[in-house]
Amino acid sequence: MAYLQLRGIEKFFGEHRAIKGIDLTIQQGEFIVFVGPSGCGKSTLLRLIAGLEGIDGGSLMLDGRDITDQPSSKRDLAMVFQSYALYPHMSVYENMSFALKLAKVDKQVIDEKVQNAARILNLTQYLQRTPKELSGGQRQRVAIGRAIVRAPKVFLFDEPLSNLDAALRGQTRVEIAKLHRDLGATTIYVTHDQVEAMTLADRVVVLRDGIIEQVGTPLELYDKPANQFVAQFIGTPQMNVVPLQKLPQPVQQQAPAGAAGGAIGLRPENIAVRGTGATPVTGQVDLIEALGAETLIYVTTPGGAQFVSRLNDRTGLRAGDAVSLDIDASEAHWFDTAGRIVAGHAA
């Protein structure tokens, strides 16, 4: 039986239908990530689950209980916001214990829960400080700690790392993954960063324009995208998607019938850069990104097709060099004119 179930969830803002009949089943203990471009509805959907916005259609079930019309305080969920939402005049201890005090929980129980959460999050030495005396990463951990002490049925994270710098974002991402593993709690996490989605999720929910495009494990979405949108959204650098008419006939002839007039999709690691004349696909190097452990080579063909190739090595190529591209069609995804998947190497 599903632990959290969304059935036909709808949300309107005036005449605008922001969430368009979403169905989703989440199992207990899962780490689910909502991902998609700005305006796709991922934060709105999270707020509907949290009870911060009213649901205009459909139903929401949690652990066999209908919570569709219940206020947020009665849903047994805890939300961690992008902005931390800490009380600036309260200490770390007071911020973490505030919800329990409002619920008139026994002081000894409150202290045990706060001390335990502080130990888990390495905040014990900061319990008497105020938020202004903490770094951004420490403030985010306090916000997470405030959620932990409530022992909710579901944790909700709304882009919790977007205010942190790159190094701290990576570190905090690891901490959240470890925390989920240790607590075994059901978690829904919203992000626009598909790297966070790929590294944290048990399953990823890809949203666009208020609908779900695909649900699956990170590698299922990477290897078996349902359409061109998912294929290009998941993966860094994104999948090369090139209209067939921009490629030489030998490549076009390998396309399945349903892809006529459509496009080919290739991951950067499935394109090798060779010397001139080695393959029918010729081009010129536009840019080399030497990242140390890998190298990205950007190439434009005479027909205007743009490719990026990933090498797990270094290269002596320079911008302006003439090259040819070895395209492995056996690893290709083929799309029709509407961007639907026709065939793929893992399909």
The CB density around residue 107, as the number of other CB atoms within 10 Å, is 10
**Long-range contact list for 18-23, CB < 8 A, 24+ apart?**
18/44, 18/210, 19/44, 19/45, 19/48, 19/210, 20/209, 20/210, 20/211, 21/57, 21/58, 21/211, 22/58, 22/210, 22/211, 22/212, 23/212
Claim: this prediction has a pTM higher than 0.85: yes
At residue 83, the pLDDT reads 82
Per-residue pLDDT of the chain (347 residues; tens, 9 = 90+): 589 999 999 999 999 999 999 999 999 999 999 999 999 999 999 999 999 999 999 999 999 999 999 999 899 999 988 888 899 999 999 999 998 998 899 999 999 999 999 998 889 999 999 999 998 889 988 999 999 998 899 999 999 888 778 888 888 888 889 889 888 889 999 998 888 999 999 999 999 999 999 999 999 999 999 999 999 999 999 999 999 999 988 888 888 989 989 999 999 999 999 999 899 999 999 999 999 999 999 999 998 999 999 999 999 999 999 999 998 888 899 999 999 999 654 44
Number of DSSP helices (H) and strands (E) in the chain, helices first: 9, 19
Pick the CATH number of 237-344 from 1.20.1250.20, 2.40.50.140, 3.20.20.70, 3.20.20.220: 2.40.50.140
Say which CATH topology domain 4-228 has. Rossmann fold (3.40.50)
Question: What are the boundaries of each domain within the chain?
Answer: 4-228, 237-344
Report the alpha-carbon distance of residue 121 to residue 241 in Å, rounded: 43
At residue 346, the pLDDT reads 41
DSSP states of 165-217? -HHHHHHHHHHHHHHHHHH--EEEEEES-HHHHHHH-SEEEEEETTEEEEEE-
Ordered strands of the 16-26 beta sheet: 16-26, 4-13, 57-62, 65-66
Residues 6+ apart with CB under 8 A from 16: none
Given a contact cutoff of 8 angstroms between Cβ atoms, the answer to whether 35 and 194 are in contact is: yes
Report the alpha-carbon distance of residue 205 to residue 189 in Å, rounded: 10
Count Cα neighbours of 253 within 13 Å in the Cβ-side half-sphere: 4
